Amino acid sequence: MPLVTKQKATGSHYTPPELAHFLAKRLVSEADFRQLPELRVLDPACGDGELLVALANS
């Protein structure tokens, strides 16, 4: 078993799907889309897009 995983070697860290879905639910429940019809979300460390996909599906 290698001591350094590929993720560790490349500095890759991914948002667990459960956390992404939790955060998306919180954002959607808190946002007033009538007041913010053009709401935008920035995920500067997008990675594989787990959080953005969860938001799009919420």
- Give the pLDDT confidence score for residue 21 in this predicted structure: 94
Helices (H), the chain: 6-10, 17-30, 50-57
Tell me if 35 is assigned to some domain: no
Q: How far apart are the first and last CA of the chain?
A: 39
Is residue 57 within 8 Å of 24, Cβ to Cβ?
Answer: yes
Euclidean distance between CA atoms 14 and 18, whole angstroms: 11
For the segment 5-48, what is each residue's pLDDT rounded down to a tens digit? 887 788 777 889 999 999 989 888 877 767 777 777 788 877 88
pTM of the entire predicted model: 0.67
Domain ranges, residue 56: 15-30+47-58
DSSP class of residue 9 equals: H
Residue 3 has pLDDT above 70, yes or no: no
User: Residue 3's Cα: distance from chain center in Å?
Assistant: 28
Tell me if 57 is assigned to some domain: yes
- Give the pLDDT confidence score for residue 18 in this predicted structure: 95
